Chains A and B, each alone.
Chain A
Amino acid sequence: MTSARANPEMLSALDRPGSYIGKTVPRPNLDRLMQGRGLYVSDIELPRMAHVVFLRSPHAHAKINGIEASTAKQMPGVIAVVSGRELSTVITPWVGVLSHLKGLKSAPQSAIAVDRVCWQGEAVAAVVASSRAQAEDAAELVSIEYEELDAVTDMRTALDPATAVIHASLGDNLAFERNHDAGAVDQAFAESDEVVEADFVFGRHTGVTLEPRAVVADWNAAEARLTIYQGTQAPHMVQNIAALHLGLKESQVRVVCKDVGGSFGIKVHIYADEMATYALSKLLRRPVKFVADRVESFNTDIHARDHRCKGKIGVNRDGTITAFEIDDLTGIGPYSMYPRTSAIEANQVVNLVGGPYATRNYRARARVVFQNKNVMCQYRAVGHPIACSVTEGLVDMAAMKIGMDPIEIRRRNLIADNAYPCASPSGLRFEQLSHHAALAKLTGMMDYDALRVEQAALRTRNIHRGIGIASFIEVTNPSAAFYGVGGAKISSQDGVAVRLDAQGSVICQTSITEQGQGSESLTAQIVGSVLGVSMDRVRVILGDTDNTPYGGGTWASRGAGIGGEAALQATKVLRKNILDVAAAILQAAPGELDIVNNAVVNAADSAPRIELGELARIVYFRPDTLPPGIQAELMAARHFVPREYPFAFTNGIQASWLEVDIDTGFVKLLKHWVVEDCGTIINPQLVDEQIRGGVVQGLGAALFEKCVYDERGQLTNANMADYLVPMSGEMPDIDVGHVVSPTMESELGAKGAGEAGTAGAAAAVTNAVNDALRPFGTIITEIPLTPQVVLTALGRI
C-alpha cells in the first residue's frame, strides 16, 4: 500500500491511549431492548389515531370492475373506505427507474391499485377504523368485482411473443438488459483445455423481518406538516419521496425512526401501502397506523433473488482460469420498485461475477423481466449471492474437471495481494484486497488438510461429508455512483454534529440509522476516542430528519465507513475548538494541551488542567470571564462521502463443513468459517456478529427459504409454518477471522461488513454438498437445497 493518509499528523483516534477503536465494548441502550422498553413503530399510539387495513387482491392479474363498500362504511368504528382512485386525489403515482441504468423501464404505480391489479397481494382498497379489529371486520364486507386476466408467472417465457404483455404501454415484458464483453472471450474458450457449463437456479425468497413493516403517518393540518414514524433505513429518502408525491415541501415532512425490528434491505424501500398510509393521513386529517400482518409481509415485502443463470468457465490443465461467461435472467414482479429500482441486483450480478479472479476475459448478459408476482428488489447482499454462487460453483467444477483441489485452483487464480490498485474485467476498481491472505488464514482456521483426511475416513463408513469453499468480493461504502448519478434523491454523504453540553458530556447527532447493527455504538466509540471522553458520556441521536444532519442512512454496508468518518472528522473539529478555549482559560498554547479521560491535560506529562465539565460551565455560564475576542464553539459538524473510489470493495472467503444424508436428502451443517477484510475494525464483536447474522441469512437461502408460487401466480406458502427460516437447532457455530486492509480514502479506514456473510454462505454450502456427493457423480446447481432437490439429484425420487 503506497498511498499516504490525508492527515498523518492527526491520526489520533486509532492510537490514543484509552481509544475505543478496535475494542469490544457493549452497545449502549441494550437494556432498553432487553427490558421490553424499546419503541418500535408497532408500539406507537397517538391521540385520534386510526388504523388502516388493506384489502388485497386474491388474483395475480385482474381488472377491477367495481368496489362495493356501503355496508362496510356503516360498521362500528369505520371512518372511511378508500379506493385507489379516491386516494389519487392526494398522492401521485411513481415510476421506478434510474437514468444510469440505461434502458430500464417500468410503468406508473399507484399507492392503491386503480382499475387493475398486477400481483396477488396488491392493495385494492383501504379500510380505516378506530381499531384494527374493527377495520378487519369491515373489510370482510367490502365486495370487489374482479375480471381475471392472464398472469405472467414464468420468467423463462415472459419474453415470448405468445406471452401477454403486462404493461401494454411498455411494449414488452423486458424491464432491463445489460450486456458486457471484456477481453477476448471466444478466443479464450477456444484455446482452453477444458470448458465447463452449468445452469444455476436461485429460489425467490424474502427478508422475514421479525417486526413486520409498520408506519404511523400523522398529518397535522394546522401545522401543514406530516410526521412519519417508520422503521426505515433511510429517513431522508422517505422524507423526499413522501413530500414529492403528496405535493409538499421536504420541510413539511418529518421522518422519525425509533427502534426497528429488523431491516436487511426490506425496510430501505418505500412501499405502495406505506405511501397509501401517508396519503390517508392527509386525506383524513388524523394519524393513521399501518402494521402489516405476517401474510401481508410475505405477499408485499420485497422478494429477492429468483435468478436463472447460465454459466461457463474455461480452464487450462495447469489450473489457469481463462474466461467466465454468464447469461442471467431474473423476474422482478410487475413494477420496478421505487426509488431504488429492481434492476440493481441483476446489474450487480454482471458487476461481480469472476470478481475475485485474475482473468481478463468476461462476457455477461443480464435480463430483467416483469411478472405477475410480488415486487422484487434489493435485499441484504444484493446480487452477491448469485454472482458468488455462479462464480464459485464454476470454479469448483473447473477444478473437478482437471482434478485439482478447490483450494489450489483458487490459489492459482485469485488476484495477487500485491496487484492493487487494479480493476476487474467488469470495470470495478479495487483499492486493496487480500484474497490470498484470507485464503491462507481460512485453511489454517479450519485445518483444511486434517478435514480432508477425516472426510476420506468417514467416506469409507458411508458417511458423506463435504467441504465447500467460496471466495467473494463485497460492495461497501457506495458513493453517489450507486443512486445519485441516476437521479435518485438518495444521499451518499452522511453528516455528524457533535457538541459538548453544559456538564461536559457529548451529544452527537448522526444521519446514519440503527437497526441493531451497532450504529450508536460505533459512533460513540469514535467520538469518545477522538475527543478523549468516556463512551458513557456520549449520547447518540439518530433516526429523525428534524434532529440529525442530512444523510443517507444505514444500508449497502455504509454506516461505519461513511457515517463513522463523518463522526471522526466532526469530533476532530470539536476537539480543536475545546483546546482553543482551554488554552485561553489556562493561558497555554493549544498544542501543549490534550484531552484525556474527560479532562484537559498537559500533553507532555498528562497532568490534569481542567475538567471538561468545568470548561463547559465557564463557556456557557461565565463567558464574561474569557479573554476578549474569544467566542467558544462547542459544537461542530462535518460530512463525508467517498470521492476517489465509487465503492470500497472488501473481500473474504467462507468455508462450509456439512453432512448429506443420502437416504433422506437432509443436509446437516456442522461448521462454518469466514475470513473477511473490512479494513479498520471499530468493534470486533459487532463486526463478527454482523458476519454471523449475515451468514445465517445466506444459509437460509441455501437450504430452506423459497417463496413458492403456483402457475397462476398464487403464493402458496405465505406463512412462517410453511416458509422455513433458519432456527437455532439447524444452525452451526461460525468461526470468524479477519485480515485488515484499511481504505486510504478515509482517516478511519473502515469499510463495510454487513453483507459479507450473506454474500458467500450459499456458495460455500452448495460447493460442500457437491463435494459430499462427489462419489455419486452428480452436481446440484439449485438452491434452496431441499431434501427433494438432493434426492432428485441422487436419482432416488
Chain B
Amino acid sequence: MTAAVAISLSVNGERVEANVLPRLNLADFLREHLKLTGTHVGCEHGVCGACTVRVNGDIVRSCLMLAVQTHNATVETIEGLSDSGEIADLQSAFRERNALQCGFCTPGMLMAAHDLLKQSPSLDREQIREHLSGNYCRCTGYQAIVDAIETTARARSGRLP
C-alpha cells in the first residue's frame, strides 16, 4: 500500500491539513475524515450526483475525485453553502414546494441547481430538467424540484412568478 500524502486545502473557508492515502476519494475524505456528512454517497461511480460538491468554483462528483487532487484547492460542501447563506433563497423555495422527501439527494441537487442558476438567470423548465439529469431523485419525480428552481430563477432575475 502506498504511503499517505500530505495535502493542504480550504474546506468551507477553513484551512485543512491532512495526510491521506492516494486511493482515498474526496467523498470519503469529506465524510469520514472531516465529518462533513452532508455530502452523500449514493452510487460510488459518478452516476447519481448525491456526492456533488464544489471544487475551485466548479461542481464535481466527489466520488470520482481523489482527495490528493484537492491539494491547494478550495472545496465547498452543502454545510458551507448553507452557513454562508449563499443558497438560502433556493433552500426556501425547496421548503415551500416540498421539493425533497427523504432528502438524501438534496445536498447534491441544491449544488447542481445553484450552479445552473449562477450560469444563467433566465431558465425554462427544459433547461432545468436537462441540467439536473445527472442527479437522481427516487422520491419526488422531479417536478417539485424543477418548480422550486424555476421559482428561484424568477426571483433572482427580478421576474415575477
Hey, which bits of chain A sit against chain B, CB under 8 A? 26-27, 30-40, 42-43, 133, 137, 207-212, 259-264, 293-294, 515-518, 685-686, 689, 692-697, 719-721, 725-731, 733-734, 757
Bound-complex Cα distance A733 to B77 (A) = 30
Query: Cβ of B96 and Cβ of A731 under 8 Å apart?
Result: no
Query: Cβ of A34 and Cβ of B106 under 8 Å apart?
Result: yes
Query: Cβ of B102 and Cβ of A260 under 8 Å apart?
Result: yes
Let me know if B56 is at the binding interface, CB within 8 A: no
Let me know if B72 is at the binding interface, CB within 8 A: no
Query: Cβ of B104 and Cβ of A693 under 8 Å apart?
Result: no
Query: Cβ of A30 and Cβ of B100 under 8 Å apart?
Result: yes
Query: Cβ of B101 and Cβ of A517 under 8 Å apart?
Result: yes
Most buried by B among A27, A33, A211: A33
Query: Cβ of B94 and Cβ of A725 under 8 Å apart?
Result: no
Hey, which bits of chain B sit against chain A, CB under 8 A? 1, 23, 31, 36-45, 47-48, 50, 77-79, 82-83, 91, 94-98, 100-107, 110, 125, 128-130, 132-146
Bound-complex Cα distance A516 to B141 (A) = 13
The answer to whether residues A731 and B129 also contact, given A34-B91, A294-B42, A517-B101 and a CB cut-off of 8 A, is yes
Query: Cβ of A30 and Cβ of B103 under 8 Å apart?
Result: yes
| Minimum C-beta distance from B152 to chain A (A) | 13
Bound-complex Cα distance A211 to B41 (A) = 7
Nearest A residue to B37 via CB reads: A43
12 chain-A/chain-B pairs, Cβ below 8 angstroms: A30-B98, A36-B38, A40-B37, A133-B23, A210-B136, A211-B104, A261-B104, A262-B139, A294-B44, A693-B139, A695-B141, A731-B129
B41: which A residues are within 8 A, CB to CB?
42
Given contacts A31-B91, A210-B102, A689-B144, 10 further A-B contacts (CB under 8 A): A30-B94, A42-B37, A210-B136, A262-B101, A294-B45, A720-B43, A729-B129, A731-B129, A731-B142, A757-B141
A696: which B residues are within 8 A, CB to CB?
140-142
Query: Cβ of B40 and Cβ of A261 under 8 Å apart?
Result: yes
The 5 closest A-B pairs by CB, nearest first: A36-B38, A33-B103, A516-B101, A261-B104, A696-B141
Nearest B residue to A44 via CB reads: B37
Query: Cβ of A261 and Cβ of B82 under 8 Å apart?
Result: no
Bound-complex Cα distance A104 to B43 (A) = 36
The answer to whether residues A734 and B141 also contact, given A34-B100, A293-B44, A515-B102 and a CB cut-off of 8 A, is yes
A33: which B residues are within 8 A, CB to CB?
100, 102-103, 106
Bound-complex Cα distance A32 to B50 (A) = 16
A209: which B residues are within 8 A, CB to CB?
102, 104, 138
Bound-complex Cα distance A538 to B16 (A) = 40
B137: which A residues are within 8 A, CB to CB?
210, 728
Partner of A727, one of B97, B100, B133, B144: B133
B95: which A residues are within 8 A, CB to CB?
26-27, 30-31, 34
Bound-complex Cα distance A264 to B102 (A) = 11
B79: which A residues are within 8 A, CB to CB?
35-37
B129: which A residues are within 8 A, CB to CB?
728-729, 731
Query: Cβ of A692 and Cβ of B144 under 8 Å apart?
Result: yes
A730: which B residues are within 8 A, CB to CB?
133
Partner of B101, one of A36, A40, A43, A689: A689
Bound-complex Cα distance A36 to B83 (A) = 11
Query: Cβ of B78 and Cβ of A36 under 8 Å apart?
Result: yes
| Minimum C-beta distance from A789 to chain B (A) | 23
B135: which A residues are within 8 A, CB to CB?
727-728
The answer to whether residues A35 and B139 also contact, given A262-B104, A692-B144 and a CB cut-off of 8 A, is no
Query: Cβ of B96 and Cβ of A36 under 8 Å apart?
Result: no
A518: which B residues are within 8 A, CB to CB?
98, 101
A26: which B residues are within 8 A, CB to CB?
95-96, 98
Bound-complex Cα distance A730 to B82 (A) = 30
Query: Cβ of B100 and Cβ of A692 under 8 Å apart?
Result: no
| Minimum C-beta distance from B3 to chain A (A) | 14
| Minimum C-beta distance from B16 to chain A (A) | 17
Bound-complex Cα distance A207 to B42 (A) = 13
Bound-complex Cα distance A207 to B125 (A) = 27
Most buried by A among B83, B106, B128: B106
Query: Cβ of B102 and Cβ of A728 under 8 Å apart?
Result: no
Bound-complex Cα distance A552 to B43 (A) = 30
Most buried by B among A259, A264, A728: A728
Bound-complex Cα distance A234 to B106 (A) = 24
A757: which B residues are within 8 A, CB to CB?
141
A262: which B residues are within 8 A, CB to CB?
101-102, 104, 138-139
Query: Cβ of A692 and Cβ of B143 under 8 Å apart?
Result: yes
Query: Cβ of A728 and Cβ of B98 under 8 Å apart?
Result: no
Bound-complex Cα distance A731 to B79 (A) = 30
Query: Cβ of B38 and Cβ of A37 under 8 Å apart?
Result: yes
Most buried by B among A39, A209, A211, A692: A211
Bound-complex Cα distance A207 to B144 (A) = 21
Bound-complex Cα distance A212 to B95 (A) = 25
Query: Cβ of A210 and Cβ of B140 under 8 Å apart?
Result: no
Bound-complex Cα distance A245 to B10 (A) = 49
Query: Cβ of A36 and Cβ of B77 under 8 Å apart?
Result: yes
The answer to whether residues A693 and B140 also contact, given A210-B48, A516-B102 and a CB cut-off of 8 A, is yes
Query: Cβ of B44 and Cβ of A729 under 8 Å apart?
Result: no
Bound-complex Cα distance A263 to B139 (A) = 9
Nearest B residue to A734 via CB reads: B143
Query: Cβ of B140 and Cβ of A692 under 8 Å apart?
Result: yes
The answer to whether residues A693 and B101 also contact, given A36-B107, A728-B133 and a CB cut-off of 8 A, is yes
Query: Cβ of A719 and Cβ of B45 under 8 Å apart?
Result: yes
Bound-complex Cα distance A693 to B97 (A) = 14
A35: which B residues are within 8 A, CB to CB?
38, 78-79, 82-83, 91
| Minimum C-beta distance from B130 to chain A (A) | 5
The answer to whether residues A259 and B101 also contact, given A35-B82, A728-B145 and a CB cut-off of 8 A, is no
Partner of A210, one of B31, B39, B77, B105: B105
A729: which B residues are within 8 A, CB to CB?
129-130, 132-133
Bound-complex Cα distance A466 to B38 (A) = 43
Partner of B100, one of A208, A260, A515, A516: A516
Bound-complex Cα distance A105 to B36 (A) = 47
A34: which B residues are within 8 A, CB to CB?
78, 82, 91, 94-95, 100, 103, 106-107, 110
The answer to whether residues A727 and B136 also contact, given A38-B103, A211-B104, A261-B104 and a CB cut-off of 8 A, is yes
Query: Cβ of B104 and Cβ of A210 under 8 Å apart?
Result: yes
| Minimum C-beta distance from B76 to chain A (A) | 12
Most buried by A among B91, B95, B134, B138: B138
| Minimum C-beta distance from B43 to chain A (A) | 5
| Minimum C-beta distance from B82 to chain A (A) | 4
The answer to whether residues A211 and B91 also contact, given A727-B133, A734-B143 and a CB cut-off of 8 A, is no
Query: Cβ of B143 and Cβ of A733 under 8 Å apart?
Result: yes
Query: Cβ of B103 and Cβ of A728 under 8 Å apart?
Result: no
Bound-complex Cα distance A797 to B17 (A) = 59
Bound-complex Cα distance A12 to B39 (A) = 44
Bound-complex Cα distance A26 to B136 (A) = 23
The answer to whether residues A731 and B143 also contact, given A33-B100, A261-B102 and a CB cut-off of 8 A, is yes
